[in-house]
Structure formats: structure tokens, C-alpha cells
Amino acid sequence: MSRRAGQGPARPLDGCAAKRHRRPAQLAWNIVTDQPLFEPAPGTSAAGHLSPSFPARAPWGTAGRLRAWQEEALTAYFATEPRDFLAAATPGAGKTTFALRLASELLHRRTVDRVIVVAPTEHLKRQWADAADRAGVRLNPGFRNSESRFGRHFHGVAITYAQVAARASLHRELTQGANTLVILDEVHHGGDALSWGDAVREAFEPATRRLSLTGTPFRSDTSPIPFVEYAPDEHGIRVSRSDYSYGYGRALKDGVVRPVLFMVYAGHMRWRTKVGDEMEARLGEGNTKDITSQAWRTALDPSGDWIPQVLGAADKRLSEVRQSIPDAGGLVIATDQTVARAYATILEAISGEPVTVVLSDEKEASDRIESFSNSSKRWMVAVRMVSEGVDVPRLAVGVYATSASTPLFFAQAVGRFVRARRRGETASIFLPNVPSLMALAEKLELERDHALDKRDDGSNPDGDFYNPEDAMVAAANRDEKASEGLTQEFDFQALSSGATFDRVVYDGGEFGFEAVVGSEEELDFLGLPGLLEPDQVKDLLQHRQARQQKHAKTGRPSADTPDQGGVPAPLYRTLKEQRSLLNSLVGIWSKTSNEPHGLIHAELRRICGGPAVAQASVTQLQSRIVTVRRWMGAANH
């Protein structure tokens, strides 16, 4: 007897006969009906007590084998079977598998007979449909608003938030036409604009069940997200409440995600401002926000040396990783299309191989991502569209070459690299030494809830630029200042840039000191094996740092270790060399004294006098260098 569309999956989840279904004792049971709260995939739950990556991980987008957290979340859902359920799980943990297994169970029980998946992008619609097909749920990703209906041979459709916003009444009719499960992927997009939130609420209010998914920190604006429950915290701030959470820290312990090493690079930047002033500063030197922003912009300019040097270092790291993971790939996240193409040209010269370029406004972008994912090519350069939800599991090395610095975007970007295919894989992400990015890297495990009420601490006077209303106000303020542009004779121009290896950030700790690009000390960290357990990562980093510190103290000559003789460098040295030397010594002394860089620089200014490092003269810098060397010499006796 054939099964009609709308009456559940056309085949069991793993292709096995129904008679192989088992009901193991360790599952949660309903004491009234003597039935399990949900029925596990055949032959997998017996190993539910084991690590989710042992003996084998669940293949991406399939529901035949569940990880421990997915069974736990399903048990939590079927314990109460709520109309709304918010699941927050770290990127790469397997939210898609969880959602499709839940959909399959609800279809099987006849609780629902239609499934609608709402995704952020066109590419993700197809990604969901492909995964759903492997789970026995047939979705139509090609559904258009002009069609009004979809074929009976589908269980439902995969659409975008933009489609919902364009014609909410149509999607309300589809939702009302059957008992419908609505899956809202990356649900924070429901608050991207007031019209989007209203449309999502109007379209899916009649749904029989709603499952909201998120894998990243919520937005920091105060636009309410539809179907998300809010409750006051200890400060009276209304924050979102997740029904189930699975954070990065727990996923790392379970072996579900990779440990992430942040390779941090600083360097000396020089640029001309719009009023014609020539400025110079070092990344991560404790500059003002304006100076930091301009130095960061200079570093990302493809015409300077910083980007080629960092891309070269990243390519070396990728070569090392590919010794253990032959198909490992790299991704550069760029700010716009122009620099993306320039980065690709640089990478092709470095690697000697063609580079895949993905631009968000190109129709073939989705095909290029899929082609790269299925190949063994080394590098892909993309603008923002690849940062959220797009899965290329072989990505292991990344370069964060964009000026975006919100917690939401940063977490989405990092999420492209954390999906583990086998135990022991690591991820390496190259970052500019910018305070906002360092704070995010050091708090990777922090789980954030969405706050409806904002406490104004003055940390972001310009508002949240993921909030359209704040963006419009900021744009209006810029327009008011447009007349100032008439007096500006120059455009911003990056004059020169150079990179130095600064440190590695891992698990909230910092390892290593400043080193010249290409030096033995830098290669020590770039050459870390590609397959390491989390505890092995920390042990190796500590060993490499100790070796680097020993070389510095014993005066072993190297590219990044200055003369330790205590004699000031001659006056003909350039400002760039003196600043690099001072910062290298301050970095070494910081590790020795356990004092932060900023405090050491402040003490040097108190003792030696003079302005901040960026404005100090050669003589003033040399005086501080002598002072730090004196401290180091006293510590060694």
C-alpha cells in the first residue's frame, strides 16, 4: 500500500525495514502510556552514553544516527510537546539533523502533515532540501511566491525570510492549509527589520508547531524576535529563554566541534587621512577607536604588505594541516567584492593554484560553494554570504579579513570552521590584532541571550549596525556632516603596512610573543600538527611558548629577538623599527611579569616621559627600550 504525500516520510530514516526499530531501555518513557517519548533511529541509541563522535559521527544532514545532545533535546521536546521550542546549539553541532529528525517524528505520529523551513538565503534553502531528502522528508526549495501552491509529492517547502516578508498572507494560507510544522532557521533573522518580524509573525501564527533554531549569539538590538519567549534576568532586563542549549564548551568536550586556534597578527600601519595628515600606528597598541579603525583599514588594504604576509602565513598553516587532513581547505572572508578579487589574485600567486571566488550577488555563487566543498582545492575567498549557515565541512583554516566586528557576525564566521568530521581535527583562524576581535576570540564559549531592554553603558555610541533603525539614524547623522566633505582635500589612503606574528589565542589563554613573519618562532606555531586533541593543543602551545621565551632570554639570535646587550639602538633606526623592538620587549616582559601590555606602556611613560608610542620620537622610544632591558636583566640575576 503506497503512502500519500503529507502522511509522513516515504521511507524509514536509514532505509532499514520497520521491523528493525527498537525501543531501548535507556530512553525516556511515558509512565502513563508505557511508550517512549520519541522513537530512536534504528540500532543507534544503544551507544547513546558514548561520546557523540565515537565510534563514528553522524553524517551531516542525516537523521539515521543521533548524537547524545540530539537525543537529549528530542527527549526534552517530547516530554511536553510544546507549540514553540527554541533550540540553541553551537555551529557545527548538528542542528539540521536534530530539526529533521523532529520533523520526521512529528510526521510519523501524524501530529503534523506539512513542513515549512524558513532559511536566511537561497543557498541554504537548497542545503536544507538536500539534507531533508536524505532524512526522508521531501521539501521543495524552488517554491516561488507566484506559485501559491506546491505539489502533493512534497511534504512541504523551503523558503527564505525575504519571501515571507514579500507575501506574508500567502504563507499564512499555506500554514493554515494543513497541520504545519514551521522550522525557523537562524531565527534572529525574524528581527532583521520591523517588517520582517511582523511578516513572520503574521505568516506562521496559525502553525501547529514551531521550532526555532539558532547557532550564534543573538542580535544586540531590541527588536523582539517572533515566537521567542522573554523573561526578566536579575537586573530586570528581559532576555530570551532557550528550551534547550548546547554550547561550544560542551560540544568541544564531546568531540563534536574542533578546537579553534586564533593566530593573531599585529604590525605597523601608515596612512593619510582625509585632511591630508600622515598617521602611523601599530595594531593592538591601545590606540583610540578612531586610530584603531584606520589602522585596521590600512592592514586590510591589498596593496600593502600586511595582507600578503598574513595570507602567506595562512597558506603555510594550510599546508601543514593538509599533511594530516589531505582535503583541508581555507576560506578568506573579505569586506567587499573588490578586495575579494584582489585577495584571490594574491593567494593564487602564493599557492600556485586557482582560487574560488564567491560574490554574494552572483547567481552561480551557490554552485561555486558546492563545487569547492566537493573538491580538494586549497582556497576560497568570499564576501559575507558564506559566513552564516553555509556548510563546507573541510574548511580548517580561515583568514578574517573583514571589518565586521559584531558578536553575531564573528560567531557566524567562526562557525564555518568548527564542524568536526573526525576526532582530533583543529581549526586555525588568522585575525588582525584589534581589541574588539580579541575580546570575542577570548570569549568564544560565552553563550548570549537576546535582550529586549538595553542597558546603556556607553560602549557603543553609534548603536548596533545590525539594527536597521540605528543604521538609518547613523546615516542621517553622516548626511548632516556632508558639508564637511567640501573642505576635505584628500581621500583616505593606505600608504604602507607590514605584519608581525603577535600570539595565539586558545581557550581564553594567550601563547607566544611577537615575532617577525617568516621567523623560526612564527613557524613554530604555524607548524602545529593538524590533528590534536584539545588538551594536546594547550600542552603544545605552552611548550612552544616556553621554547620561544628561552630563546629570548638566552640571547639566541633570531629574526624577531633583538640584541639583549642593553645598549640603545643607534639613532639612524627608523620609527618603525624602534616601535617594533619596543613592543617585542614589552611582550616578553608581559609574559615574565604577568602584567598587561597597556600597564607596562603606562609605567614606561611615567618613568621615561613622553607621549604614547604612536607619537613618541626615536629618542623617547630608545629610552623606554633601555628601561625594559634593564628590568629583564635584573629579573635574570
Instruction: Give the residue with greater pLDDT, 86 vs 622.
Output: 86
The mean pLDDT of 94-104, rounded to a whole number, is 94
Q: Which residue has the higher pLDDT, 235 or 537?
A: 537
% the chain with pLDDT above 90? 34
Dihedral of CA 246/250/254/257: which sign?
A: positive
What's the fold here for domain 258-447+491-546?
Answer: Rossmann fold (3.40.50)
Check pLDDT > 70 for residue 310.
yes
Residue-level pLDDT at 602: 86
pLDDT value of residue 386: 53
pLDDT value for 43: 31
* Band of pLDDT at residue 311, cut at 50, 70 and 90: very high
State the pLDDT at residue 233.
65
Of 447, 445, 96, nearest to 241 (Cα)? 447
Burial of 289 (0-12, 13-18, 19+ CB in 10 A): exposed
**Report for 43-57, 153-167, 483-497, 589-603: range of highest mean pLDDT:** 153-167
- Going from the C-alpha of 569 to that of each of 282, 549, 585, 614, 630, the distances in angstroms are 20, 22, 13, 18, 14
Pairing assessment for the beta strands 209-214 and 84-89 based on DSSP bridges: parallel
Cβ of 167: how many Cβ atoms within 10 Å? 16
Axis-axis angle for helices 68-80, 95-108 (nearest 10): 40
> How far apart, in whole angstroms, are the C-alpha atoms of residue 239 and residue 257?
27
Per-residue pLDDT tens for 145-190? 988 788 888 999 999 998 999 999 999 999 999 999 999 998 877 6
Give the residue-averaged pLDDT of 269-276: 85
What's the pLDDT at 247?
A: 85
SS3 504: strand
In this structure, whether the domain defined by 18-253 belongs to CATH 3.40.50.300 is answered with: yes
Indicate the pTM of the whole model. 0.66
Q: Which helix (H) or strand (E) holds 210?
A: strand 209-214
Q: How far apart are CA 412 and CA 385, in angstroms?
A: 10
Q: What is the mean pLDDT of residues 357-379?
A: 83
Which has more pLDDT, 532 or 139?
139
pLDDT surpassing 70 at residue 478: no
- The torsion defined by the Cα of 534, 535, 536 and 537, in degrees rounded to 10, comes to 50
Q: What is the DSSP string of 228-245?
A: --EEE-TTS-EEE--SEE
Asked if 497 contacts 491 with a C-beta cutoff of 8 angstroms, the reply is no
Residue 430 phi/psi, 5-degree rounding, is -90, 125
- Confirm if 189 and 161 have CB atoms less than 8 A apart: yes
Give the range among 43-52, 117-126, 429-438 with minimum mean pLDDT. 43-52
Q: What is the pLDDT of residue 626?
A: 85
Tell me the DSSP string of 167-203.
-HHHHHHHHHTS-EEEEETTGGGGGSSHHHHHHHHHH
User: pLDDT digits over 545-585, tens only?
Assistant: 888 777 666 554 443 333 433 344 344 345 667 777 788 78
